[in-house]
Amino acid sequence: MNAPLGYPSFFDLREFAQSARASLSAGGGLARSYVQLPPGPVAVGALRVAQGEHREPVDGDEFVIVEEGEVSLRVDGLESKLAPGESAVIRAGSEVRWTARDAATLVFMRYQAQPGQDAGVVPIDYAAELAPSGAPLAELLTTPTPACRNFTDHRSTDGEFVCGTWDSTPYTRRAMRYRHYELMYLLDGEVSFEDEVGARATFAKGDIFLVRQGAECSWDSQVYVRKVYAIWRPA
């Protein structure tokens, strides 16, 4: 898989949402701005929820995280409230009633999954008990093998879109080709990336960012890292 020309390897999504805020606010209601990505089943961007109540059908599984403000999501009579930094997955086939006392900005990642049996909202549990998970491939590591843990809050009906929390002790690995898109929100720590053309980026606690499918990136974390993730990995 070759990296598509003209598309960055990583995107600072908090910065993207902040830069899009003014133009989205002019639209009222629910307004979206999209990160430019290669054509495919994944869309990523910023969502502005104007003050008041708004209804929206969701035709794919959608991970959302609040960048600014507070929102309430109601599906089938059940309400989920999200404050800044909190996140959830809206299941495909849901009819969402958004409510915001004041305008709010969110970052989203939507995958065109087939609806399952249940509509609804799945909050991402930041306090979930993590279980040991796989470590990076030994041939890529330039440091000792880290201890990694994971908890999965949501998995799409086809298993390709997965959201949850993950942590790891520090490690460094050489560049690998990403078969997937991954949105990350750092709860703790700091990580640096470098891609095949020498572009570099460092993200720290509180940052929201995306690594693009097809990018070839290294990973360097000198401290403990804990993150929320939304991954689309084709079967």
Is the model's pLDDT at 34 over the cut of 60? yes
Domain 131-232, CATH: 2.60.120.10
Closest among 208, 216, 148 to 183, alpha carbons compared: 208
Rounded distance, CA 23 to CA 38, Å?
Answer: 23
Give the model's pLDDT for residue 186. Answer: 98
CA atoms within 13 A on the CB side of 218: 21
* Mean pLDDT over the full length of the chain: 95
Domain boundaries, the chain: 10-123, 131-232
Would the CATH topology of 10-123 be identical to that of 131-232?
A: yes
* Residue with token string 């974390």: 221
Average pLDDT over residues 142-171: 97
- Using CA atoms, how far apart are residues 156 and 161, in angstroms rounded to an integer? 5
Q: What CA–CA distance (Å, rounded) separates 141 from 135?
A: 10
Burial degree of 72 (CB within 10 A; 0-12, 13-18, 19+): middle
Phi first, then psi: give them for residue 25, nearest 5 degrees: -65, -30
| pLDDT tens, position by position, 87-121 | 999 999 999 999 999 999 999 999 998 887 789 99
Question: What confidence score (pLDDT) does residue 6 get?
Answer: 73
Return the CATH superfamily for domain 10-123.
Answer: Jelly Rolls (2.60.120.10)
Q: What is the mean pLDDT of residues 11-30?
A: 92
Alpha helix segments (H runs only) across the chain: 13-25
| CA distance linking residue 62 with residue 87, whole number of Å | 10
SS3 122: strand
Q: What is the pTM of this model?
A: 0.95
Residue 4 — pLDDT band, cuts 50, 70, 90?
Answer: low
207-215 average pLDDT score: 97
